[in-house]
Structure 1
Amino acid sequence: MKERTLTLNGFSKTYAMTGWRIGYAAGPQDITNKMSEIRHSLSINSCTFSQYGALAALEGPQDDIIKMKEEYNMRRKFCMKALDDIGFSYGDPGGAFYIYTNVSNSGLAASDFCKNLLEKTGVLLFPGTLFGDEEDKYIRLSYLQPIDKIEESMNRIKSFINE
């Protein structure tokens, strides 16, 4: 199986290194060599501090990664339950730190929903139109904030829907 497996990964989610723009590929040498040829024609390499940061992340203790995954899992479950209670549908977020949520049953286009929600409650969400939603039905709800802020935001969203 090893000779047929290509692994592509990054550091953004697992190590909370969004914006560092670094990842890696591991696999059969004949494939990775060809990938390197293409990569060199696009750019030489990632910046040095990103490479050192990625190396430190891989070689350092991993127990905080487990804690972080548990924390995000708890936040994700909380948000999914809150969205269920509100009556919004959403796609399974998988390993993402956001939930792509259909707000069309609010009676508003997602862009209007986000604008009105911000003006009336102070909760900032982004419409899916920024991420390819051509129908303006979806929002992107992130669960990166501490749970107390998430709880307060979800309460404000629920109040906004019920007004």
Structure 2
Amino acid sequence: MKVIKSELPEVLVIEPKVFGDERGFFYESFNAQAFAEATGVNTPFVQDNHSRSQKGVLRGLHYQIENAQGKLVRVTAGSVLDIAVDIRRSSPNFGKWFGLELSAENAKQLWIPPGFAHGFLVLSDYAEFLYKTTDYYTPSAERCIRWNDPELAIDWGLTEEPRLSAKDQVGKPLADADLFE
């Protein structure tokens, strides 16, 4: 696997070795030992999640203030614009974001450590999104920052309003959100 530091150095782009021919492809999507050696991140993953969303669905920006989750994310069908936002007040990159297209075709993955908010926008007709987390989902700890907060100025590349859940429609601005020190 190839590991590339993003503009937010703790957020890592993972490019697995994909072996393909006229029959199809094979790649190892996760190996704990190889991941730890390549990234320097040696953490257990305790939960796998799988979502399917239609084109124009925007999920995020989500995080847990307690039981903070690191996430290793990838797309197995379709494509998304994936976004990570540094929400650690003490970070020199506080309030900055990084975006990357993840798709079944490019097989890229993104490591988003605890202390970052995360969201994605579905670009294809639909997308299946998988993520491994380093802590369990805790509803009482879940928080949401507004996807269109002008302070963050995330370029989602939208040409029309996204489809949002009720929870995402009432996300807080960064200035009012519970954040990490």
TM-score over 0.5 for the alignment? Answer: no
Say which structure is richer in strand: 2
The one of the two structures with greater contact order (alpha-carbon pairs below 8 A, sep at least 6) is 2
Q: Provide the TM-score with structure 1 as the length reference.
A: 0.23
Say which structure is richer in helix: 1
- Which is greater in Rg? 1
